[in-house]
Structure 1
Amino acid sequence: MTQITVHHRSPLPNTYRAARVSSLFNVEGDADFKISLEAPLKDRPWQIGLIKGPSGSGKSSIARALFGARRLKCANRWPGKGAIVDEITPGGSFDAVTAALSAVGLGSVPSWLRPYAALSTGEKFRADLARVLCERPGLFVMDEFTSAIDRRVATIAAGAFGKAWRRGPGQFVAVACHDDVEDWLQPDWVIDTGRGGEFAWRRLRRCPSLEVEIHQTDGSHWPTFEPHHYLKTNNVIAGSFYLARAEGVDVAHLAVTPRPGLREARACRFVVLPEWQGLGIGLRFLTEVAALWRRGVNRFERPMPTLINTSHPGLCRRLRAHDQWMQTSCLLYGGARKQVGLKGGMAGHLRAVQGFRYIE
């Protein structure tokens, strides 16, 4: 049993204003801050902890007392000014870096090529989490966890990170002033400074569910999603367009177009908005639309298996692991324009294109 006491001494200054405030609000003796608690962290194995409570309630002080001042960090210090895909564990595996970025919901490829300073606040937070995942310290304590980002982004990012962290070793402690991350992060224990430093072990539960609706639409919604797509594509010929909508917000886009002969279809323009990445919405959306086409629920009223080609390493990994998708091809180089037979082609450049088929 670890018992700690945090005591910040603040004797009242001998000034007119301090004396007047003390008199008006009956502050006697001093303005010390003191909190004591018991934290039996050695009683059980754990991977994720949460210290939560309002600002000024002693969260950071408790974290320093439990784990040491050197362990407490607001985020990692980024070593250089290069693209984040280069700055995260430069000597490590490329696949591990892209997997970590995708796992925490930073799956937007253009963002991988930007320096840390050029990212949005939400993207910086996810990049910090990805770097922690790749470096895998034995213990990492993150102060101000999700404090500076939108609450929807915060909860989704917390859920994505929690799942990814549990796939490997190490212990992670989040220090947060918001209650909403608890159900998403799924910590093994919680210290609540809003309740006087109350400690409680917590059983793992499912993250909160999201109801996602699929709507067939036209191509007018693509400009919202296009900046987050890793390719600049031509117009979709004879395409059917779909949107995934959660909590009344459009979160993902997909186009499906028939191939010559109407025997199979091709999925393209597949994008999940960054703030909704990391929850598995995209793959479920893609799989459900492919299932509709396989049953003939399309404007051609013909059953067609769906194919998808992608270079996104995160999507490739998930499709390979999915029991309803089968990998059909893997090309390291794009074909020359004459070989491809298309006006655009891939000009023979290095692009690892992998193909998958929905097999039901």
Structure 2
Amino acid sequence: MTSVRLRGLLPTLPTRRTRTPPPPAAPGEVVAEALGVRIERGGRVVLDGVGIAMRAGEVLALVGPNGAGKSTLLAALAADLAPSSGEVRIAGRPAHGWAAGELALRRAVLPQDAALSFPFAVADVVRMGRAPWAGTEREGEDEEAVAEAMAATEVGAFAERPFSALSGGERARVALARVLAQRTGLLLLDEPTAALDLRHQELVLRVCRERAAAGDAVVVVLHDLGLAAAHADRVGVLHDGRVAVEGPPSEVLEEELLSRVYRQPVEVFPHPRTGVPLVVPRRTEADRHLPA
């Protein structure tokens, strides 16, 4: 499918340049924040008074056990889920105060599941990330942004293949490329490494680091504590709907806290070469000889 046909299927946006692209944030500037956010879903409190900030030039990893509220917090930070109390602010303004088109110029979201109902080609899926920039002075960057995003995620080799024909890991990388092509100053990524092999897990987290080095704020939900320790500037550990602790990995990833939060004894020790914390389950010799 050509880009012309694709554009006809995307939401109609103004053709006149009536929207001004947001200026880049200064290093360390708070790009988005949750202030006392409480969210209830299905009669259960999922987030209870959560406060956390995202800063330009940093990778913030959200970790915690299943059901801790990581994805819910990410959805709230994206303004896709309204809190029952508290507030989310993006670029200094309450998130609900931004029109959808303006919000899409300021944050890009990668959900856990990448699904499409139509057999779009990979290149056209990535090009969808440029839709918010139609009618702005930066719409001329479309092809450059798409090519750069596809190269960064190594999906160019199957640019013409239907998205529906890809493996789970390939779809995950194409979905990330769409987010990168959007070129916003805030990236919100929900488990971007879950379906990936070892090489591409590292590739994705390197891309996150590169975007942070270029001045973006990157928030990534991770289950792998080793990846969080190696690539994040700050880690927020969620537990029972609250941020149990938040700070640099070397300070946050501590044995007693993680053992309690995950209800699994762990050991934390420095990598022999880099000093980055390594987190592994605590095992005994007897564990190796348990009956199958």
TM-score by length of 1: 0.41
Q: Which has the larger radius of gyration?
A: 1
Using CA pairs below 8 Å that are at least 6 residues apart, which structure has the higher relative contact order? 2
